[in-house]
Structure 1
Amino acid sequence: MTTAAATALTAKNSVDLRDWLKEVKRLEQLEQISGAHWDLELGALTEIILERIATPPAVVFDRVPGFDPNRRVLVNMLETLERTALTLNLPLELKTIPLIDQLRARLRSMQPIPANVVPSGPIFENVERGEQIDLNQFPVPRWHAGDGGRYLGTAHLVVTRDPETGVENVGCYRVMLQDKDKVGLYISPGKHGKIHYEKTVKAGKPFPVAMAFGQHPLLYIAASQAVPFGVNEYDWAGGLIGQPIDVIEGPLTGLRFPAHAEIVIEGEINPGESMPEGPFGEWPGYYASARRAEPFVRVKALYYRNDPIITGAAPFKPTIHGMYRSCLRAATVWNGMEQAGVPDIKGVYLPPPAQRFMIVVAIKQRCPGHAKQAGLVACQCHAGAYLGRYVVVVDDDIDITDTNEVLWAICTRSDPATSVDLLRRCWSGPLDPIIQPGQKGFNSRMIIEAVRPWEWREKFPATSAISDETRQEYSSKWRRQLEQVQARYTQARRD
């Protein structure tokens, strides 16, 4: 794709999932699969595509057996750099670290743009209340064989309000289909939605909730990221793309939801009521929580567009997905480190297979202790503090997006006796699979300084790799033959 074409795509900023899908189709990154069953088959196909294709397409499943053929499920929304850039209104040709760098610059400079409250929208094409409500009409998947049920909410929005301050929060907490008019809700301790819930039920009052199941992926990103405290997620998303998000105030709860959402419910959680929820295969790639009693929402109103699309992002093993999370979190960690005063950071990356559990930082060493400072701040700034495990600090000649280079740096520039530090009693959570039940509030961190030792860095052995200039010269001279060889062997691997 040319730069001009990329610019034309990113200039179109309608915050409507259907417009976004048209742009993805123009990128030739959208596929359609018809006839996959909601029970395991849809989830299995999603996982197989992620395993087999290095740049997996977004996939729309339609004609799900037993349902209206035009009611669809969308998966793999953000699994390539191009679709991530498109969603964030960044140039599509950016590679990983330049994309992270431009994104963090945008995050530093942007100002939230207040959401635009509108009286109506496509979401009200169908309205059901009372006995009319039937969530079973939608092709809600059972994603994994060990899941305790069908999960409607995996790439969605959960809107709540602080009963004391009136401040609204938009989060992404898993939602299980319990009945035609009931959904289970699991929120990890410490999350804003959980705090709102606890305050409300402590006062003995029903807890109002609105949920959207199908929306532009920008809003899903906003709901699942660590948006700065006190900033509304809709306003943050609007600031990121430079235009306000159209929202509607819910007729029953007053909670705001996207005017262009696909499916929305309004309801409430009654104090003391619960239903069995889970287990669910979560983002670390494990069933980290057992089936247990959790609150559920009694649905009072259901709104949906004609031929609605459920957006899904069921967690599989993170070895096969997670690009957008890596970019967003790397950008926020990088900014957090700079704000704390760490100098000469050349890159921050969270390898998608590790998700939150590993941060790799490249620095140009400026002083004794610089690498240790970078490692400590990376794992304890706000964006890096929750559910981390390892921080690796490398020199700026290492490509931090290349796992082989990072491992090479660890094995040749660090010594376990002098290059490793452990931090104990750091912030963990219920989904940490290695922490035993009853102790999941805390975990530890390892900081690995995989840099040339400061004391004798000038005498450290030189690398034997060819220089960038030599590589460029001979790659250009032998371009045709190299491309032919690469094409033959790439095809052989595919065969």
Structure 2
Amino acid sequence: MTIVTATFVARAGPAHYIRRATPVAARRARGTHVSHRVVCRSAVEGGDLEYTDLRDWIATVRELGEVRDVRGADWETEIGRVTEMVHHADDGPAVLFDDIPGYPAGQRILVNAIATQRRLAITLGMPADIERRALMDEFLALTEAGRAIPPRYVKDGSVFENVMTGDAVDVLKFPTPMWHPDDGGRYIGTGCVDVMKDPNSDWVNLGTYRVMIHDSKRVGLYISPGKHGKQFQDAYFKRGEPCPVAIVVGSDPLLFLASTVEVPQGVSEYDWAGGIRGEPYDVVKAPITGLPIPANAEIVLEGFVKPGYTLPEGPFGEWTGYYASGTRAEPVMDVKAIYHRDDPIMLGVPPQKPPWEPHKYREYLRSALLLRDLQNAGVPGVKDAMCFSVGGTRLLVAVSIEQRYAGHARQAGHVAAMCRAGAYLGRYTIVVDDDIDVTDINDVLWAMATRSDPERSLDIIHRAWSGPLDPAIQPGKKGHNSRLIIDACRPWEWRDEFPKAIGPDIETKRETRKKWGWVLDGGSVAPKRNTVLAGAGTKSRAAKTAATALNQPLADDTSME
């Protein structure tokens, strides 16, 4: 077996594009990095993290039948159209594009990676059949500050199998799609992880910021105001210094996920991901900027953003479902080097009208973070929280409580609207009683329609935190928006006189769906007990877990949560 690595030549002069094959045994003898599969146990019994990089992850979910291969789709229109289609499909597969016209076979693009609960669970090292609330609780346990594990620097990595520097740098080497018809250009950075460092400390931040190709050696980097990356960039510019950036196009899904959630101030997403993995995340020092980059990344662009250097960027279809901002002058990154694996795989996560891929997994993760924020703020009796994907997990939120005193519902609503998980670009917060299933938007809207009254049930918060992508705010005034708190609980003063609701409680409904759901799923008879599914004997633990979940006995009384 041979792994291709890179050799760096420290000399001035012509550009270098270098490849060298080195046997694994020789690399081990030198103490350089060799990828190995790590299986780490999560707090959930039986949970395994079965991958170390994007390729491992694809192989793992492929065993579950969750990957579709598409060959021959063009980058100009077809990849974007197929991506939009699968993003809006219920339980849609991960799609791997190959044989893209105009590019060598083997240069691939993966989309819709963690858009389902099963694939999210596998990404987090949990059983594929884990229930929603158990997933949320385990996610919170995995992300406790005490679990953070700093990254481990290694000497080499597969990211250096190919190296481009100087005149050889060519961002157009990769089959970056035109994701939406009216985009201002080709966006290589949608599922990217942008590595930046605070100039005033050792804090390394990973964020996902959109990256547009200007030409073969320049890309535009747009970061929303208030984000950590923007704070770092402004700090460098205030000093009159260029801001170093490493753009990872093709990390494993866990690291991408880490870059898209609210990690506490001062905590590196590398540490956060290491805590979930149960061991340090392997990184290498980028040769030019010194930034830590994933040792097994598929593609990395390394360079600097200079103060005052801008070019027109956008428009770009964004997560609200609109071209919320037009073409504007935005900072430009000069790409000084590109590193990539053989046959690299780009991770594509282009925004779509909600709900799309990140909204589907953030519906679990941001809901969990919101629940923790409410509890940490001392709001009692909070039963559940839901950040609805149809609102981009920000614009529409519901919280259920067991009412304990007058004003309790208002307290929960105001905290949910303005805590860390809910502060940025929120709009509507609905508070309901604990007999309402907040995961069912119809149940939430029913409570709002029948238990609230506009005269007594509404509060408005003025001048809350908004952003440039808010389509409902007039251009030039997008720094602030307002929030509407809707108290859809039974009125505290006469709650005992409020009419009794018909129908079963939440737990009874879930147990009924668990036992008799096959009636709705197209079955004509109840599934047989202990039926063995084809493919249940695969090597992947995740595949075995999923097969077991699908073959639970009809009379299983296990709680849904």
TM-score by length of 1: 0.92
1:336 pairs, out of 345, 350, 373, with 373
Provide the C-alpha distance between the structure 1 equivalents of 2:307 and 2:521, rounded to a whole number of angstroms: 63
2:250 pairs, out of 214, 219, 223, with 214
Who is 2:34 aligned against? none
Give how far 1:199 is off. Answer: 1.8
2:214 pairs, out of 178, 182, 196, with 178
Give how far 1:163 is off. Answer: 2.0
CA deviations 1:1-35 (Å, max 9, x no partner) are xxx9xx89841343311111111112211111111
2:302 pairs, out of 245, 266, 290, with 266
1:56 pairs, out of 92, 98, 102, with 92
Who is 2:483 aligned against? 445
Contact 1:175 1:186 in 2 (8 A): yes
Who is 1:169 aligned against? 205
1:487 pairs, out of 522, 541, 546, with 522
Aligned pairs (5 A) from 1:338-357? 338-355=375-392, 356-357=394-395
Who is 1:119 aligned against? 155
Who is 2:223 aligned against? 187
CA deviations 1:281-324 (Å, max 9, x no partner) are 01111111111111111111110001100001101111344211
What amino acid is the match of 1:401?
T
Who is 2:66 aligned against? 29
What amino acid is the match of 2:385?
V
- Paired-residue identity, %: 48
What amino acid is the match of 2:426?
G
Work out whether 1:396 is the aligned partner of 2:434.
Answer: yes
CA deviations 1:134-192 (Å, max 9, x no partner) are 11111101100110000000011111122233432211110001111111100111111
Who is 2:81 aligned against? 44
User: In the comparison of the two structures, how many residue pairs are matched?
Assistant: 480
Aligned pairs (5 A) from 1:60-71? 60-71=96-107
Contact 1:96 1:401 in 2 (8 A): no
What amino acid is the match of 1:289?
S
Give how far 1:86 is off. Answer: 1.0
Aligned pairs (5 A) from 1:455-466? 455-466=493-504
Who is 2:266 aligned against? 230
Q: What's the secondary structure of 2:422's corresponding residue?
A: helix
Who is 1:318 aligned against? 354
Q: Which moved further from structure 2: 85-94 or 120-129?
A: 85-94
For the structure 1 residues 427 and 22, does the alpha-carbon distance in structure 2 shift closer, same or farther, using more than 3 Å as the test?
same
Contact 2:49 2:123 in 1 (8 A): no
Who is 2:460 aligned against? 422
Who is 1:493 aligned against? none
Contact 2:437 2:506 in 1 (8 A): no
1:373 pairs, out of 401, 405, 411, with 411
For the structure 1 residues 473 and 445, does the alpha-carbon distance in structure 2 shift closer, same or farther, using more than 3 Å as the test?
closer
Who is 2:48 aligned against? 11
| RMSD (Å), alpha carbons | 2.2
Provide the C-alpha distance between the structure 2 equivalents of 1:286 and 1:442, rounded to a whole number of angstroms: 19
Work out whether 1:74 is the aligned partner of 2:83.
Answer: no
Provide the C-alpha distance between the structure 1 equivalents of 2:221 and 2:510, rounded to a whole number of angstroms: 54
What amino acid is the match of 1:20?
W
CA deviations 1:315-351 (Å, max 9, x no partner) are 1111344211221211111111111101121111111
Contact 2:47 2:125 in 1 (8 A): yes
Q: What's the secondary structure of 1:198's corresponding residue?
A: helix
What amino acid is the match of 2:263?
V
Contact 2:417 2:423 in 1 (8 A): yes
CA deviations 1:351-400 (Å, max 9, x no partner) are 11112111111111111111111111111111111100011111111111
Higher percent of residues as helix = 1
Q: What's the secondary structure of 2:147's corresponding residue?
A: coil
Q: What's the secondary structure of 1:371's corresponding residue?
A: helix
Q: What's the secondary structure of 2:522's corresponding residue?
A: helix
Provide the C-alpha distance between the structure 1 equivalents of 2:350 and 2:101, rounded to a whole number of angstroms: 20
Contact 1:110 1:240 in 2 (8 A): no
Who is 2:141 aligned against? 105
2:171 pairs, out of 135, 159, 184, with 135
Provide the C-alpha distance between the structure 2 equivalents of 1:485 and 1:171, rounded to a whole number of angstroms: 41
Contact 1:108 1:335 in 2 (8 A): no
CA deviations 1:412-447 (Å, max 9, x no partner) are 111111111110000101111100111111000011
Provide the C-alpha distance between the structure 2 equivalents of 1:67 and 1:399, rounded to a whole number of angstroms: 49
Provide the C-alpha distance between the structure 1 equivalents of 2:506 and 2:193, rounded to a whole number of angstroms: 46
Contact 2:435 2:506 in 1 (8 A): no
Provide the C-alpha distance between the structure 2 equivalents of 1:474 and 1:270, rounded to a whole number of angstroms: 60
Structure 1, unaligned runs of 5 or more: 490-495
For the structure 1 residues 469 and 75, does the alpha-carbon distance in structure 2 shift closer, same or farther, using more than 3 Å as the test?
closer
Give how far 1:242 is off. Answer: 1.6
Aligned pairs (5 A) from 1:216-295? 216-295=252-331
CA deviations 1:204-249 (Å, max 9, x no partner) are 2222111100011111111111110111110011112322110111
Q: What's the secondary structure of 2:241's corresponding residue?
A: coil
TM-score by length of 2: 0.82
Q: What's the secondary structure of 1:384's corresponding residue?
A: coil
Provide the C-alpha distance between the structure 1 equivalents of 2:299 and 2:219, rounded to a whole number of angstroms: 14
For the structure 1 residues 485 and 97, does the alpha-carbon distance in structure 2 shift closer, same or farther, using more than 3 Å as the test?
closer
Q: Which moved further from structure 2: 162-171 or 180-189?
A: 162-171
Contact 1:414 1:449 in 2 (8 A): yes
Provide the C-alpha distance between the structure 2 equivalents of 1:15 and 1:389, rounded to a whole number of angstroms: 38
Give how far 1:476 is off. Answer: 9.5
Work out whether 1:408 is the aligned partner of 2:446.
Answer: yes
Provide the C-alpha distance between the structure 1 equivalents of 2:150 and 2:95, rounded to a whole number of angstroms: 32
Q: Which moved further from structure 2: 161-170 or 177-186?
A: 161-170
Give how far 1:466 is off. Answer: 4.1
